[in-house]
Amino acid sequence: MADIDVYLEQIDFPGRLIQSFLYDLDSCDNGNPRELARVCENYFSQYDFSWPQGVEYLKNEGKRGTYKQLCSLFAGRYLRLERHQEQIEQVKNCVGTLPYVELSKGPTVHDCPIHSEFYDKIFHFNPSFFKRYPFHAELECNCSWRMVSNAEKSRLGFEIDENITSPWRPITGKDIEKTINTVGELTKAAGAIFFFGTLVWLCWIFVTS
């Protein structure tokens, strides 16, 4: 998972251990937070672990920033990132009936530096939004989002903010077929241009020789 790299860099995690560490995290039973934290404790004890950003975040949340709290924090970040990506993939299959997103502040006293401007707004689901504004890429991001149906939008009178994202639809077999046909036509055109260019070049050589 590429997003976890941000946190691996913050804790200066040894490159030789990354593959096995991520494998063990992914192997935890149903993403159990306690098991994930124990995996973190096991690996972090194998090198000179420190996480200044994590300590500062925890203290701002009114906690002490102990070693166990840091392990739980890292495990929680991993779990949030994993479930966030799973949520995106699941939503792609039902965007026809749940086309909108509502973003809200998570369980924290601090505003998210990435998403605070989108709190309590309704906008079109579009995967590009989550790439431009990645979730949980910073410790202060505890934001959550849910899908909104057309029926709920109509019933509650939600207004859609059209300036945030444009509507998105999944790629279908027809789209792929159209792309293949277009590529085929372009290939034929390129071949014709090459043939014509070669013919002109040969004629020019014949005339000037």
The secondary structure of 39-103 as a DSSP string is HHHHHHTTTT---HHHHHHHHHTT----HHHHHHHHHHHHHHHHHHHHHHHHHHTSTTT--EEEE
Would the pLDDT of 137 be above 70?
A: yes
Q: Which residue has the higher pLDDT, 50 or 28?
A: 50
Query: For residue 179, what pLDDT is reported?
Result: 46
Average pLDDT over residues 134-162: 91
Query: For residue 207, what pLDDT is reported?
Result: 64
C-beta atoms surrounding 207 within 10 Å: 7
Would the pLDDT of 174 be above 80?
A: no
Average pLDDT over residues 18-38: 92
Query: For residue 118, what pLDDT is reported?
Result: 93
CA distance 163 to 5: 31
* pLDDT tens track for 102-133: 999 887 777 899 999 999 889 999 999 999 99
Structure tokens at 113: 């530096």
Where helices occur in 93-136 by DSSP H, the ranges are 127-132
Query: For residue 120, what pLDDT is reported?
Result: 85
* Buried/exposed code over 155-164 (b: 16+ C-beta within 10 A; e: otherwise): eeeeebeeeb
Query: For residue 106, what pLDDT is reported?
Result: 81
Query: For residue 176, what pLDDT is reported?
Result: 44
* Residue of 43, 51, 155, 160 whose CA lies nearest to 101: 160
Would the pLDDT of 209 be above 90?
A: no
Q: Give the 3-state secondary structure of residue 144.
A: strand
Categorize the per-residue pLDDT at 172 as very low, low, confident or very high, splitting at 50, 70 and 90: very low
**Average per-residue pLDDT for the chain:** 85
* pLDDT tens track for 48-70: 999 999 999 999 989 999 999 99
Torsion sign over Cα 116, 120, 121, 124? positive
Query: For residue 166, what pLDDT is reported?
Result: 87
